[in-house]
Amino acid sequence: MFFCAISGEPPQDAVVSAKSGHVYERRLITKYIAENGTDPVTGEKLDESDLVAVKASPNTAAPRPPNLTSIPALLHTLQNEWDALVLETFALKQQHQSTRQELSNALYQQDAATRVVARLIRERDAAREALADVQATMGIAPAANGAADIEMDTAADEPEGLPSDLSALIEETKNTLMEGRRKRKAPADYATAAELKEYAAKDTISSLHSASTPGINSLVISRDEPSLFLTAGNDKTVQLYDRPANKVVATLKGHTKKVNQAQFREKTGDTTLIVSASADKTSRVWARDSASGQYAPHHTIKGHKGEVTGLAIHPTQIILGLSSSDKTFSMHNLETSQQLFQSPAFDEPFASISVHSDGTFYALGTSKGSIQIYDARSGGTLSALELESGGGFSVHSTSFSENGYHLMAPASSSTVAIWDLRKLKTTKTIDLGDNFTIHKLKYDPSAQYLGIAGSTGGRIYAHKTWEQIVQYGESGWNDIAWGSGGKEVWGAGSREVQIWSSA
User: Is the predicted pLDDT of residue 294 greater than 70, yes or no?
Assistant: yes
Q: What pLDDT digit, counting tens, does each position of 232-253 carry? A: 999 999 999 999 999 999 999 9
Q: Which long-range contacts link 488-494 to residues 24+ away (Cβ below 8 Å)?
A: 488/199, 488/202, 489/196, 489/199, 489/451, 489/458, 489/460, 490/219, 490/221, 490/229, 491/219, 491/453, 491/457, 491/458, 492/216, 492/218, 492/219, 492/231, 492/453, 493/216, 494/214, 494/215, 494/216
Q: What pLDDT digit, counting tens, does each position of 392-445 carry? A: 789 999 999 988 889 999 999 999 999 998 888 899 999 999 899 999 999 999
pTM confidence score:
0.68
Give every CB contact of residue 198 below 8 A, 6+ residues apart in sequence.
Answer: 502, 503
Mean pLDDT (the chain) is: 87
Every domain of the chain and the residues it spans = 14-53, 77-154, 161-501
Task: Band the pLDDT of 324: cuts 50, 70, 90.
Answer: very high
Region 161-501: CATH code: 2.130.10.10
Region 14-53: CATH code: 3.30.40.10
Task: Band the pLDDT of 178: cuts 50, 70, 90.
Answer: confident
User: Is the predicted pLDDT of residue 157 greater than 80, yes or no?
Assistant: no
Give how far the C-alpha of residue 340 lies from the chain's centroid of Cα atoms, to the nearest Å.
28
The arithmetic mean of pLDDT across residues 260-276, rounded, is 93
User: What pLDDT, on a 0 to 100 scale, did the predictor assign at position 66?
Assistant: 60
Higher pLDDT, 147 or 300: 300
Q: Say how far apart CA 450 and CA 470 lie, in whole Å.
A: 11
Specify which residues 490 forms β-bridges with: 481, 499
User: What pLDDT, on a 0 to 100 scale, did the predictor assign at position 390?
Assistant: 65
Q: Which of 9-13, 202-206, 279-283 is least confident? A: 9-13
Task: Band the pLDDT of 8: cuts 50, 70, 90.
Answer: confident
User: What pLDDT, on a 0 to 100 scale, did the predictor assign at position 161?
Assistant: 75
The arithmetic mean of pLDDT across residues 457-482, rounded, is 93
Q: Say how far apart CA 425 and CA 417 lie, in whole Å.
A: 10
User: What pLDDT, on a 0 to 100 scale, did the predictor assign at position 145?
Assistant: 40
Q: Which of 61-75, 120-134, 370-384 is least confident? A: 61-75
* Pairing label, strands 283-288, 273-278: antiparallel
The arithmetic mean of pLDDT across residues 176-201, rounded, is 84
User: Is the predicted pLDDT of residue 151 greater than 60, yes or no?
Assistant: no
